[in-house]
Amino acid sequence: MMQKISPLPSHIAFIMDGNGRWAKKRNLPRKAGHKAGTQNILALLKTLGKYGIKYVTLYSFSTENWNRPEEEIRAILDILGKSLDKEVPALHKNGVKVCHIGHLEKLPEKTREAIANAVELTKNNTAMTLNLAFDYGGRAEIVDAVKKIVSDRIPVQNIDEKLFDGYLYTNGLPEVDLVIRTGGDLRISNFLLWQSAYAEFYFTDVLWPDFDAEEIEKALISYSQRERRFGGV
């Protein structure tokens, strides 16, 4: 039975860590861990939907992930692409709008097509916005924003935080309220650096494939018990 939790975050961002270690603990190949982690996403979204969470961002593949072994990279992107093709109809049925943040150029054609199809099919949905951070890096996002501002010849006196925010990949979305990182590491790994300036952080040792409804509830309770002052007294 779901607990009544208040206040709740509007926008939650997930650093989904621990797939490889989950597989290793079970003497399985790393690919099995990535598959289990991807399968966990739909259950996660259902739980968040029950709590009325409107915005979710998933760190699916970072700019730094290209440094992993080529075989693992191919496996991750293949799993993510196939998962999109399989799960998007259910997401669409439940009113989830799928968006992409990051770059697309380096991704395999099938992955790009899966993302494009998901975005197009769900573009008018309003129940929840799901941001998939594919080939995403927070520093790259900020650099891209600066390049666009320079390209648009914006007068320096007109540049402020509001204008800059409009040049980010997440333009039009609320700032992140809560960042959840699974897997035990205590860092943000170049994820949503601008948008998380005043976010609350929740770190857990639980590996991503095991991060279930009970663990989500723990994170939401922790968030509800914090006092957010945004730099004030």
- Cα–Cα–Cα angle for 76, 46, 224, rounded to 5 degrees: 105
Q: Which of 19, 27, 40, 65 is catalytic?
A: 65
> Interhelix angle for 70-93 vs 30-50, to 10°?
20
Q: What is the C-alpha separation between 31 and 29, in angstroms, rounded? A: 5
Length of the chain: 233
Element (H, E) at 129: strand 128-136
Token pair, residue 122, equals 């769900």
- Residue in the structure block whose two tokens are 């899966």: 114
Alpha helices in the chain (DSSP H): 19-25, 30-50, 70-93, 109-122, 138-151, 161-165, 213-224
- Residue in the structure block whose two tokens are 């927070």: 138
Active site residue 17: yes
The residues carrying an active-site annotation are 17, 65
